[in-house]
């Protein structure tokens, strides 16, 4: 390619398998896109696809892509000339292509479809086990039986497929951001050694990958976001220098401001100065976000360095079964009665299970929702008059969980008054799926592009051995002095929380840079650890994020195993940001007087309840 475009418009129409098909339709019809990306995969999705494929060799891909998107929109896709990049292939990209071609043929549409192959390592599980592959955190060996095992590939194979003339690229497991980076590499001619550009393109993909989360979805200041019923899906207008402006189709719901975009940037990130991807190691610590117009924010400042010499590998495996039941309890002391009911049910079930010859349950959990239990509060102290009792149990034997399900609802006549809400019947045992994460040398993974049944290998640079990242010295702000007033943290900051396996992160962003000294003093790693003592079992690390005027907190072993392995009501830490924003902080009275928004919060906290 000799003539390079000035900008490329990339829109994301799906942030997960199950997202609304209105997203792709909106973007194709109103987004004036060059590329539409669709992200369907997560770790738990891979295990679901593995079970589907085991039952039917023609399954194992994200069917929504064909049945709800590409099939119904075939004519619009052809007329718009938009190119599509998606990881809908899951564990069976070829079957996804075959279904897509059948849908296009029915619509009278012809498009060139390429596959990116090589991520699925299931046929090599035995050799990887023999090579003593170890879990990256615990050091545990690879389990004997796996549901799935896939390497996270990067963007270079996607760029190669586009260079071969593909209109649609279907991948298996790739990093989410690669869906956008691949087209940028292809269109702008970026090289594998252009680390700053690759980091910038990865940032664009990271902001886009969760769909409407980038356009005002799940933001702290929810009341300022109009049009939830017709949210606009994100469009990144990308420049050859790596900068981009985020926007959405005109007339759609949502709100794009520096803070809403910054919240999404922090989502599911660890150390912002060392975000490791297959194509580049990113430094997002100095990224800036500025308003460029109505619902338009410019993002720039990403830096990069050489990638590592390994791919991250995620395997999923079955580890027994779980079951969960809920009921509603109302009236005076509802929280205390719910807690007592839950404890009595579990005691009863444990006794009956032992009598039946079952080993003890591996794990049980009582959660009284509506009493602040998610924030570590004692439900017995709650004044709530209507709560939801949630009971969960885990066991290696389905029979023990069948007994658990049988003995839940007798509580309605034997225990607390006011028990109701038994919708759904007895809970059925569900498989517990755990995540095993490790690394594999890039040289050991054979990547191919398949165009029309013809495969060719794709060479990927070897990368460099991973080296520990030395964090920059934290800024030393002058310590605030003088009288203080106590305010909730939300008065000074916004936050967004996310998950990676059993690790939760919370990005905390100052509403005004002037608040940073207070945040740095008040919201320490130790204090966050104490605030989440009821869930955080591992260390808590605070990373400075100077470009976004904030911090990123990483909490290890904080999700009860994470995903479907967790018994918790919030196994992905979705509510952790809100829990942190409830923390009381001491704010200098002079700062409160100088900022009307803080003064308003202070006045509100002094109002009679």
Q: pLDDT at residue 478 above 80?
A: no
CATH number of the domain enclosing 343: 3.30.70
Do 89 and 59 share a structural domain? yes
Q: pLDDT at residue 471 above 60?
A: yes
Sign of CA dihedral 203, 206, 207, 209: positive
Do 296 and 411 share a structural domain? no
CA distances from 236 to 2, 23, 209, 257 (A): 23, 15, 11, 14
Determine the pLDDT at residue 549. 96
Determine the pLDDT at residue 514. 93
Residue 548: which of 174, 297, 179 has the closest Cα? 297
Place of tokens 């023990």: 400
Do 104 and 26 share a structural domain? yes
Residue 111 lies in a domain: yes
Mean pLDDT calculated for residue range 492-504: 93
Do 299 and 326 share a structural domain? no
Residue 259 lies in a domain: yes
> Whole-angstrom Cα distance, residue 418 to residue 338?
10
Do 238 and 110 share a structural domain? yes
Determine the pLDDT at residue 605. 57
Domains in the chain: how many in total? 3
pTM check: above 0.75: yes
Residue 514 lies in a domain: yes
Determine the pLDDT at residue 608. 46
Residue 554: which of 596, 476, 499 has the closest Cα? 499
Mean pLDDT calculated for residue range 193-215: 98
Local confidence band at 487 (pLDDT 50, 70, 90 cut-offs): very high
Residue 202 lies in a domain: yes
Residue pair 61/16 in contact by the 8 Å Cβ criterion: no
Residue 451 lies in a domain: no
> Whole-angstrom Cα distance, residue 443 to residue 464?
12
Do 323 and 290 share a structural domain? no
Do 556 and 426 share a structural domain? no
Q: pLDDT at residue 609 above 70?
A: no
Domain boundary among 417, 434, 451: 434
Local confidence band at 255 (pLDDT 50, 70, 90 cut-offs): very high
Q: Which range has the top average pLDDT, 15-19, 35-39, 502-506?
A: 35-39
Residue 128 lies in a domain: no
Residue pair 24/14 in contact by the 8 Å Cβ criterion: yes
Residue 457 lies in a domain: no
Mean pLDDT calculated for residue range 326-335: 91
Determine the pLDDT at residue 104. 96
Q: Report the range of poorest mean pLDDT among 269-283, 309-323, 594-608.
A: 594-608
Domain boundary among 276, 307, 338: 307
Do 211 and 109 share a structural domain? yes
Do 326 and 289 share a structural domain? no
Do 323 and 179 share a structural domain? no
149 DSSP β-pair partners: 315
Mean pLDDT calculated for residue range 524-538: 94
Q: Which range has the top average pLDDT, 248-262, 377-391, 459-473?
A: 248-262
Determine the pLDDT at residue 174. 97
Determine the pLDDT at residue 1. 47
Residue 441 lies in a domain: no
Domain boundary among 307, 334, 364: 307
Do 539 and 414 share a structural domain? no
pLDDT, mean over the chain = 92
Domain range enclosing 103: 8-118+153-307
**Residue 201, C-beta contacts closer than 8 angstroms, at least 6 positions apart:** 155, 177, 180, 181, 184, 185, 190, 238, 242
Instruction: Identify the helix (H) or strand (E) that includes residue 588.
Output: strand 584-588
Local confidence band at 378 (pLDDT 50, 70, 90 cut-offs): low
- pLDDT (tens digit per residue) in 113-155: 999 999 999 999 999 999 988 998 888 999 999 989 999 999 9
Do 264 and 351 share a structural domain? no
- pLDDT (tens digit per residue) in 29-87: 999 999 999 999 987 788 889 889 888 999 999 999 999 999 999 999 999 989 999 99
């Amino acid at each position: 390619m000799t003539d390079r475009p000035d900008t490329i418009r990339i829109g994301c129409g799906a942030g997960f398998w199950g997202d609304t098909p209105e997203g792709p339709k909106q973007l194709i019809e109103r987004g004036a896109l060059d590329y539409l990306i669709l992200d369907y995969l997560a770790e738990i999705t891979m295990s679901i696809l593995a079970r589907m494929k085991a039952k039917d060799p023609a399954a194992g891909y994200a069917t929504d892509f064909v049945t709800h998107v590409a099939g119904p929109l075939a004519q619009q896709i052809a007329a718009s000339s938009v190119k599509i990049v998606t990881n809908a292939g899951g564990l069976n990209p070829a079957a996804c292509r075959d279904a897509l071609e059948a849908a296009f043929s029915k619509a009278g549409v012809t498009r060139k479809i390429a596959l990116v192959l090589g991520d699925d390592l299931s046929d090599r599980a035995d050799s990887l086990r023999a090579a003593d592959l170890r879990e990256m955190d615990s050091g545990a060996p690879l389990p004997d039986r796996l549901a799935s095992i896939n390497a996270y590939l990067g963007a270079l194979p996607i760029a190669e497929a586009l260079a071969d003339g593909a209109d649609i690229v279907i991948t298996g497991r790739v990093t989410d951001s690669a869906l956008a980076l691949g087209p940028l590499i292809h269109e702008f001619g970026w090289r594998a050694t252009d680390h700053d550009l690759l980091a910038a393109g990865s940032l664009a993909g990271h902001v886009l990958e969760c769909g409407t989360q980038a356009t005002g979805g799940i933001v702290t200041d929810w009341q300022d976001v109009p049009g939830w019923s017709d949210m606009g899906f994100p469009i990144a207008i990308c420049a050859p220098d790596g900068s981009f402006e985020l926007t959405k189709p005109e007339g759609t719901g949502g709100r794009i401001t520096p803070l809403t975009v910054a919240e999404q940037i922090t989502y599911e990130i660890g150390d912002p100065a060392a975000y490791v991807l297959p194509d580049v190691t990113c430094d997002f610590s100095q990224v800036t976000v500025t308003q460029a117009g109505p619902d338009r924010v410019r993002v720039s400042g990403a830096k990069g360095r050489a990638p590592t010499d390994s791919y991250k590998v995620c395997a999923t495996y079955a580890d027994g079964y779980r079951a969960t039941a809920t009921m509603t309890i109302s009236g005076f002391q509802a929280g205390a009665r719910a807690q007592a009911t839950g404890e009595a049910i579990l005691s009863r079930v444990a006794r009956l299970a032992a009598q039946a010859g079952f080993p003890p349950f591996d794990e049980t959990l009582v959660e009284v929702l509506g009493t602040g239990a998610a924030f570590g509060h004692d439900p017995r102290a709650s004044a709530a008059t209507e709560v939801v009792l949630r009971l969960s149990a885990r066991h290696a034997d389905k029979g023990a969980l069948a007994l658990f399900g049988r003995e839940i609802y007798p509580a309605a006549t034997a225990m607390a008054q006011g028990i109701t809400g038994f919708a759904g019947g007895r809970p059925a045992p569900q498989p517990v799926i755990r995540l095993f994460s490790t690394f594999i040398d890039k040289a050991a993974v054979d990547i191919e592009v398949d165009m029309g049944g013809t495969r060719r290998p794709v060479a990927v640079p070897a990368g460099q051995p991973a080296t520990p990242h030395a964090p920059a010295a934290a800024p030393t702000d002058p310590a605030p002095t003088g009288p203080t007033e106590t305010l909730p943290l939300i008065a000074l900051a916004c936050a967004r929380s996310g998950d990676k396996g059993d690790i939760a992160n919370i990005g905390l962003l100052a509403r005004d840079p002037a608040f940073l000294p207070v945040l740095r003093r008040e919201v320490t790693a130790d204090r966050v650890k104490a605030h989440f003592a009821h869930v955080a079992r591992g260390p808590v690390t605070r990373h400075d994020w100077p470009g976004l005027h904030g911090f990123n907190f990483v909490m290890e072993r904080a999700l009860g195993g994470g995903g479907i392995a967790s018994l918790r009501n919030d196994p992905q830490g979705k509510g952790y940001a809100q829990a942190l924003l409830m923390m009381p902080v001491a704010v200098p009275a002079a700062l409160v007087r100088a900022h009307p928004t803080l003064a308003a919060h202070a006045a509100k906290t002094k109002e009679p309840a």
